Amino acid sequence: MLGIDWGEKRIGLAFADSIGVALPVDPAVSTSKRKRFMQIENLIKERSINELVVGYPLNMNGSVGLNIIINSISEDKINSFFENPKILKTKF
């Protein structure tokens, strides 16, 4: 399982093994969105990941944060870029 924490300039990543222990991995920090996705795709292939947990950012007042990123990176785009991942969205 790969945890993804979307950000404007970097995408935080954490890998969870089969027993559920999550460890951080290098974030995707390229200035190119395509290169950030390629880094994530390589990690998915290297570790045979078939589940993604995508963070749903909330501001301190409870409102939804980073609307532009959430709207531009939809589940459909993720599904078309990666090979049929199971996507779980979570609120932090």
Q: What is the DSSP string of 48-89?
A: T--EEEEEE-B-TTS-B--HHHHHHS-HHHHHHHTTS-EEEE
Model pLDDT, residue 79: 64
Of the options 3.30.420.140, 3.40.50.1360, 2.40.128.20, 3.60.10.10, the CATH number for the domain spanning 2-91:
3.30.420.140
The pLDDT tens digits of the residues spanning 65-87 come to 665 455 555 566 666 666 655 55
Helices (H) and strands (E) in the chain, counts: 3, 5
The pLDDT tens digits of the residues spanning 26-54 come to 999 988 888 988 898 899 889 888 788 87
Domain ranges of the chain: 2-91
